[in-house]
Amino acid sequence: MCHFSLILCRHYLGRAYKIFLSRAGKVDNKNIILTPDHIKELMVRLARLSVDDVVLDTCAGSGGFLMEAMETMIALAKGNQETITKIKEKQLIGFEIDSVLFALACSNMFLHGDGRTNLLYRSSLLDETQGGIVNNSDKELLEYIRGMKPTRVIINPPYENNNPIKFTIQALNYLEPGGKLVIIMPTPTLTHNQGGLTEKVLSIAKLEYVIKMPNKLFSEQKRTVNTSIFGFTKTPHIQSDDVLFYNLDDDGFVSIQHKGRIDKNGTWPEIEDTIFDAISNSKDIPGVCQKKKIYKDGVLNCAGVQKRRNSNYEMVKVSTLFHITKGTLASESNVEGDYPFVTAGEEWKTHTEYALDTEAIVYAVSASGSLGRSHYVNGKFIASNLCLVLTSKHDPKYPIDLKFYNCYFASIRKQIVSDLADGTSKLTISPDMFKDYYIDYIPYKEQQAFVKTKLKDFLTLQEKYKKAQEQLSQDIAALSD
């Protein structure tokens, strides 16, 4: 077979392979979540590869990152066959413990003209006892991988059982000083592990950027996951370091029947260039990305210290201001009655009994469509078990107006959901993570002034709008009289 025919054959086999992978990604088993091609390419681009880099994927899956990295480095080699051979034989390393995915990765390598990648059939987590084909002791394996001097790690780890933070730490242990880790994982991963593992990560590596992904990114695979791309450099993070937070609300892809998510309007190349430029040059773009610090007064806040208001406002945990309990009533247990039944939805229901008689904020944490919605209530009521009930601690140091903080939570709803929502099928907010979330403490006089002016004006307009709606309905009904 001539060289051109071989290339053409590999091209069509490669296309068929991608179609197979797109179907395989929909199989609802093994918690497999494949990285969409455009995000895979973005992550490899963010790694800023050179022809001399050694690329490691500690959970290689089907080998997509390694092959994308190989193609990038081969292009940079500009036809130098000696360099290309070295790239294929010595500069690509992968771990995969799933036998099916390992076989797919081997096939992927073959279809890309590479059969010599150092792909290992075992877990990369050296402190785990899972069996594997490689018989080296953990110490010997660590020395072997380090001896190959990995300078880049690009990974999409499994999301269950807090695996993302484990893979982050292990990847950094393999990586050369000054090397880069690009990882896509659940957005709350670092926040969830504050007070231990996250601090360990930051003692090894500097967090350079966080790129929030669209929640629909994995919808083709029937997954709803709140994910972000995290970029680390292996040098300790110091408290004065800035982190660039980029919010990719929309990647331009739309779902088309029988085709999946596609870049129908051809907007992704420009979006990708904007992301790459912002990350490379650490740019602030209003409404899109901003530099924040993740430490304030020595306190770690992995969601980033907000700059919405006066930077002199004290940042405190939600649990500093509120007693927090869980609602008690399941929706299916509801019986219409005389007392408000405050649910996650916009409209309240009623119930025959009440559980509380107090002033409170009811905050939705387990209803995907209503996640982060808050309600102010004062009197006798019962709350949904999909919600948390927040009542004042009446701390003289932190007096609060619940009407004000209900408005406050509504104003940052999108941010809290972005920072804390987790899950691979249904998004929820962990009550413990919500309790430890940092918010502004606004001075009490300013809270009161807001309620007396801004909130009062809003409620007046809201009442006028309600009456206008009622009048409109009456006018329409009158037409048929």
- Average of per-residue pLDDT across 118-143: 69
Q: Which residues contact 155 (CB under 8 A, 6 or more apart)?
A: 57, 58, 59, 65, 167, 171, 181, 182, 183, 184
State the distance between the two ends of the chain, measured CA to CA, in whole angstroms: 85
Which comes out higher in pLDDT, residue 220 or 280? 280
Q: Which pLDDT score, from 0 to 100, does residue 311 have?
A: 57
Q: What is the pTM of this model?
A: 0.78
- Residue 135's pLDDT band, with cuts at 50, 70 and 90, is very low
Residue 5 has pLDDT above 70, yes or no: no
Residue 120 has pLDDT above 70, yes or no: yes
Nearest Cα to Cα of residue 64 among 105, 31, 24, 101: 105
Q: Which pLDDT score, from 0 to 100, does residue 31 have?
A: 56
Rounded CA-CA distance 181/163 in Å is 16
Cβ atoms within 10 Å, residue 469: 10
Rounded CA-CA distance 194/421 in Å is 16
Residue 13 has pLDDT above 70, yes or no: no
Cβ atoms within 10 Å, residue 395: 11
Q: Which residues contact 290 (CB under 8 A, 6 or more apart)?
A: 244, 245, 284, 307
- Residue 302's pLDDT band, with cuts at 50, 70 and 90, is confident
Nearest Cα to Cα of residue 194 among 53, 120, 342, 302: 302
Q: Which pLDDT score, from 0 to 100, does residue 461 have?
A: 78
- Residue 134's pLDDT band, with cuts at 50, 70 and 90, is very low
- Residue 20's pLDDT band, with cuts at 50, 70 and 90, is low
- Residue 19's pLDDT band, with cuts at 50, 70 and 90, is low
pLDDT tens digits for range 400-459: 999 999 999 999 998 888 888 887 667 889 898 899 888 889 999 999 999 998 888 777
Q: Which pLDDT score, from 0 to 100, does residue 458 have?
A: 77
Q: Helix, strand, or coil here: 255?
A: strand
Residue 27 has pLDDT above 70, yes or no: no
- Average of per-residue pLDDT across 200-223: 87
Which comes out higher in pLDDT, residue 110 or 239? 239
Rounded CA-CA distance 345/387 in Å is 10
Q: Which pLDDT score, from 0 to 100, does residue 153 have?
A: 97
pLDDT tens digits for range 172-192: 999 999 999 999 999 989 988
- Average of per-residue pLDDT across 23-27: 47
Which comes out higher in pLDDT, residue 316 or 168? 168
pLDDT tens digits for range 244-260: 999 998 898 888 876 77
Q: Which pLDDT score, from 0 to 100, does residue 179 have?
A: 97
- DSSP track, 322-378: EEEEE--B-GGG----SEEEE-SSSS-EEES--SEEEEEEEEE-S-GGGTT-EEEEE
Q: Which pLDDT score, from 0 to 100, does residue 116 have?
A: 59
Cβ 57 vs Cβ 125: under 8 Å:
no
- Residue 133's pLDDT band, with cuts at 50, 70 and 90, is very low
- Average of per-residue pLDDT across 350-367: 94
Rounded CA-CA distance 304/296 in Å is 9
- Residue 395's pLDDT band, with cuts at 50, 70 and 90, is very high
- DSSP track, 148-202: T---EEEE----GGGHHHHHHHHHHHHSPTT-EEEEEEETTHHHHTTTTHHHHHH
Question: Exposure of 433 by Cβ count < 10 A (0-12 exposed, 13-18 middle, 19+ buried)?
Answer: buried
pLDDT tens digits for range 215-246: 888 866 767 788 999 999 999 999 999 999 99
Residue 32 has pLDDT above 70, yes or no: no
- Average of per-residue pLDDT across 53-69: 91
10: phi > 0 → left, psi -120 to 50 → alpha, else beta; which? alpha
Cβ 285 vs Cβ 244: under 8 Å:
no
Rounded CA-CA distance 111/167 in Å is 28
Please state, for a pLDDT cut of 70, what percent of the chain lies above it: 86
Task: Give the tokens for residue 303.
Answer: 């969601």
At 456, which amino acid appears? Answer: K
Nearest Cα to Cα of residue 18 among 107, 151, 146, 127: 107
- Average of per-residue pLDDT across 320-344: 92
Please state, for a pLDDT cut of 90, what percent of the chain lies above it: 48
Rounded CA-CA distance 165/171 in Å is 10
Q: Which pLDDT score, from 0 to 100, does residue 21 have?
A: 55
**DSSP label at 214?**
P
245-249, 261-265, 375-379, 458-462: least confident range: 458-462
What is the rounded average pLDDT for all residues in the chain?
A: 85
Sign of CA dihedral 75, 80, 83, 85: positive
Q: Within a 13 Å sphere around the CA of 388, how many CA atoms are in the beta-carbon half?
A: 24
Q: Are strands 242-247 and 289-293 parallel, antiparallel or unpaired?
A: antiparallel
Residue 286 has pLDDT above 70, yes or no: yes
